[in-house]
């Protein structure tokens, strides 16, 4: 899949703008490694993998699980049938993996899953492939490359013809403005003004780890020492 994504750029089927970012594209894809596709999150596409539990065993997935007991299937019913076929004559049940698919894995399906795929919908026929994707250069591999790999594998062609990579909005220290850093500033607050107290309330209302919230608040105090509470 990575080789196909490289060939698409080399052949001109996919154009990366600016062209200087092609170096990043090839560096990632020509040195591709195994990808852990699971995350321990509360939301996302749940992994369609089921673990076989034999009668008399505790009905939990053990830490030292037997890899041979994993069954991958579209539905629980199919997984149970496959498990019985794999372990004939044994009384068993199955438990679905509690993890969800990695965010970037699910996001890689975006260009066609939003159009009704896997059904052959009118929208899918009309809007796949699209013409232009515009995004930040920091996720050229994490999102763009995965959409290209998924699109070529599952749809047979690249999901878009051009990828336009825009510049990044950064803070006063040159860091990318990010929810996980707690350094995002609302443009409305820049225009209308905001107190340090209310600025920090936004951090409390977010989903940052408490340690990260404390770190971000200290950073805000240093960046805006003249702001009245």
**SS3 state of residue 202:** helix
3-class SS of residue 122: helix
Share of the chain above pLDDT 90, in %: 67
Tell me: pLDDT of 12 over 60: yes
Q: Look at residue 42 in the predicted model and tell me its pLDDT.
A: 83
The CA distances from residue 61 to 93, 139, 185, in Å, are 12, 34, 43
Nearest residue to 148 via CA among 41, 57, 28: 28
Evaluate if residue 229 carries a pLDDT over 80.
Answer: no
Q: pLDDT tens digits for 38-75?
A: 898 888 899 999 999 999 999 999 988 999 999 999 99
Average pLDDT of the chain to the nearest whole number: 92
pLDDT at position 178 over 90: no
What pLDDT, on the 0 to 100 scale, is given for residue 1?
96
């Amino acid at each position: 899949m990575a080789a196909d994504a490289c060939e698409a750029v080399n052949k001109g089927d996919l154009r990366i703008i600016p062209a200087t970012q092609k170096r990043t594209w090839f560096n990632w894809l020509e040195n591709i490694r195994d990808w852990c596709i699971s995350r321990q999150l509360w939301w996302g596409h749940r992994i369609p993998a089921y673990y076989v539990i034999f009668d008399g065993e505790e009905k939990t997935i053990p830490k030292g699980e037997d890899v041979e007991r994993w069954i991958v299937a579209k539905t629980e019913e199919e997984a149970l049938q496959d498990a019985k076929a794999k372990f004939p004559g044994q009384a068993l049940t199955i438990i679905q993996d509690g993890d969800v698919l990695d965010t970037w894995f699910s996001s890689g399906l975006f260009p066609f899953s939003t159009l009704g795929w896997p059904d052959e919908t009118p929208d899918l026929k009309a809007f796949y492939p699209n013409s232009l994707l515009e995004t930040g250069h920091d996720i050229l591999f994490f999102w763009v490359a995965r959409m290209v790999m998924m699109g070529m594998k599952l749809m047979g062609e690249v999901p878009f013809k051009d990828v336009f990579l825009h510049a990044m909005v950064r803070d006063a220290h040159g860091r990318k403005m990010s929810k996980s850093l707690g350094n995002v500033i609302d443009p409305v607050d820049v225009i209308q003004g905001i107190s340090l107290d209310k600025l920090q309330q936004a951090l409390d209302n977010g989903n940052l780890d408490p340690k990260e919230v404390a770190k971000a608040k200290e950073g805000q105090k240093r960046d805006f020492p003249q702001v009245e509470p």
